[in-house]
Amino acid sequence: MKHLRVFVLGLITASIITACAQTGPKEQAGTAAGAVTGAALGWGLGKGHRDQTAAVVLGTFLGGILGQQIGQRLDAADQVMARNSVGYALEYNPTGISTTWRNPDSGNTGYTVPTRTFDSTSGAPCREYTTTVIVGGQKESAYGTACRQADGSWKIVN
């Protein structure tokens, strides 16, 4: 039951942060994605500690702020290139080998590196990865896990 409470609190915090972001759709999408990623990191880092709820809330808040800043600067083409970089790296790259992207119009760049490959409990292949975006010379990184679906696509699970 505690897990559910912490999860719901994280969702509520993410919703509030996103709603308060008085900005355009890019910033709101970045805020939401950052908040969810921050909540997941807070959940994982706070696991087993009595302050897990605080870790989730803080992670959600900080992730939302970071996501909003990235969203302000990534245009639709940047987002497509970043998403394609993740998909290509998961599908084709050996662990430790990056796939890069660069948008000549915005000057923004990034890369994705698979960091670990394993099988899920259901037997599906999964990969952990880091993805980094460099916007205006500032580097921001995120961590994720994706598993292959029955149709061959990759679904981000964390």
Domain spans of the chain? 2-73, 76-156
Contacts of 71 (CB under 8 A, 6+ apart): 23, 26, 27, 28, 29, 30, 31, 33, 34
Give residue 135's pLDDT: 86
List pLDDT tens digits, range 13-51.
Answer: 555 555 555 455 555 555 555 555 556 666 555 555 556
In the predicted model, is pLDDT for residue 112 greater than 70? yes
Map the chain to HEC letters: CHHHHHHHHHHHHHHHHHHHCCCCHHHHHHHHHHHHHHHHHHHHHHCCCCCHHHHHHHHHHHHHHHHHHHHHHCCHHHHHHHHHHHHHHHHHCCCCCCEEEECCCCCCEEEEEEEEEEECCCCCEEEEEEEEEEECCEEEEEEEEEEECCCCCEEECC
The whole-number pLDDT of residue 158 equals 78
Amino acid at site 128? E
Predicted confidence (pLDDT) per residue in 4-17, tens digit: 454 455 555 555 55
Considering the entire predicted model, what is its pTM?
0.56
Q: Is the pLDDT reported for residue 73 higher than 70?
A: no
Query: What pLDDT, on a 0 to 100 scale, did the predictor assign at position 66?
Result: 56
**Structural contact between residues 90 and 127, judged by C-beta atoms closer than 8 angstroms:** yes
Nearest CA-CA partner of 86 in 42, 31, 133, 28: 133
Helices 2-20/25-46 angle, 10° precision: 150
